């Protein structure tokens, strides 16, 4: 079905809203969707037309995954072609709110896959997404933790580009009473700058990523002497963790050199 609705043959734009909704309803139940290349192509065009319908489709598949499902989305990060300009769509804010509401209760499926949906909708973590998340920090009891999970799913380089956002999460977390939730949020944020593939420092040399994190955190603390204690402590802890990781690399390299 989906391979007929391709810009090179029949444009998905010819479909009415009712027809799109009917097709999305059918796609909900497709087995092994990650293997359906043509469906991914189709959805990459339809999501620009009905983003909320597609998000609801993804959320339904996430929440109804079974042990037989490898993943709830089409292959290759969800879409054949990345959707564009979704953040300017009238339905975009509601898409983010419904994703957050799907994370109201902790479930490994929603907390693992929902951040990926947000990243597909907005690959760069735009001001629009950041502001919607900040406006919904108190959407429900687990909103703050859900937002932290969403943010840390992005590339580590965005951490230091969004220090104001990080500080807002830390400040809100410091006001919680559940120590497990506080620890989860801080832990997610503290690991974000180390996530992803690292460049390889030379054998016996310090870890370049760790040194960069130590330098940036030091500058943040130097430039902001009036930070509240929970925020200052976070950056001090991040520095200590980076030092620990750097020393681990040096020790591993030393052991390897001694074996040679």
pLDDT value at residue 36: 60
Instruction: Please compute the mean of the pLDDT values over residues 158-171 and round it to a whole number.
Output: 97
Residue 68 vs residue 58, higher pLDDT = 58
With a cut of 70, say whether residue 149 has pLDDT above it: yes
pLDDT value at residue 196: 80
With a cut of 50, say whether residue 237 has pLDDT above it: yes
Q: Domain map of the chain by residue range?
A: 1-84
- Token pair, residue 183, equals 């620890």
pLDDT value at residue 26: 85
With a cut of 60, say whether residue 119 has pLDDT above it: yes
* End-to-end Cα separation, the chain, in angstroms: 60
b/e per residue 222-255 (b: at least 16 CB within 10 A)? eeeeebeebbbebbeebbebbeebbeebbeebee
pLDDT value at residue 173: 97
Q: Where are the beta strands (DSSP E) in 103-240?
A: none
State the burial class of residue 151 (Cβ atoms within 10 Å of its Cβ: 0-12, 13-18, 19+): buried
- Token pair, residue 87, equals 């953040």
User: Mind listing the pLDDT tens digit for each residue in 191-222?
Assistant: 999 998 666 677 888 999 999 999 999 999 99
pLDDT value at residue 114: 94
Q: What is the model's pTM? A: 0.88
Averaged pLDDT score across all residues of the chain: 87
Q: How far is CA 132 from CA 26, 72, 165, 173, in A?
A: 31, 25, 12, 18
User: Mind listing the pLDDT tens digit for each residue in 1-56?
Assistant: 444 445 544 566 778 888 888 888 988 887 766 666 667 777 877 888 889 999 99
b/e per residue 71-87 (b: at least 16 CB within 10 A)? bbbbbeebbbeebeebb
pLDDT value at residue 79: 52
């Amino acid at each position: 079905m989906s391979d007929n609705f391709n810009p090179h043959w029949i444009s998905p734009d010819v479909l009415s809203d009712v027809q799109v909704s009917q097709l999305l309803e059918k796609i909900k139940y497709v087995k092994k969707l990650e293997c359906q290349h043509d469906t991914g192509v189709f959805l990459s065009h339809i999501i620009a037309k009905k983003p909320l319908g597609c998000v609801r489709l993804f959320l339904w598949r996430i929440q109804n995954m079974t042990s037989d499902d490898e993943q709830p989305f089409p292959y290759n990060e969800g879409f054949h072609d990345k959707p564009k300009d979704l953040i300017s769509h009238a339905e975009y804010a509601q898409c983010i709110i419904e994703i957050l509401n799907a994370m109201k209760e902790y479930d490994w499926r929603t907390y693992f896959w929902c951040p990926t949906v947000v990243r597909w909708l907005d690959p760069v973590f735009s001001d629009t997404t950041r502001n919607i998340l900040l406006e919904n920090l108190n959407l429900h009891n687990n909103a703050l933790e859900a937002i932290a999970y969403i943010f840390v799913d992005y590339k580590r380089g965005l951490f230091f580009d969004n220090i104001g956002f990080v500080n807002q999460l830390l400040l809100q977390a410091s006001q919680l009473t559940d120590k497990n939730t506080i620890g989860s949020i801080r832990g997610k944020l503290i690991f974000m700058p180390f996530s992803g593939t690292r460049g390889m420092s030379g054998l016996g040399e310090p870890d370049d990523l760790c040194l960069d994190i130590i330098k940036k955190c030091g500058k943040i603390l130097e430039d902001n002497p009036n930070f509240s204690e929970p925020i200052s402590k976070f950056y001090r802890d991040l520095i200590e963790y980076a030092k620990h990781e750097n020393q681990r690399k040096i020790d591993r390299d030393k052991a390897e050199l001694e074996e040679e």
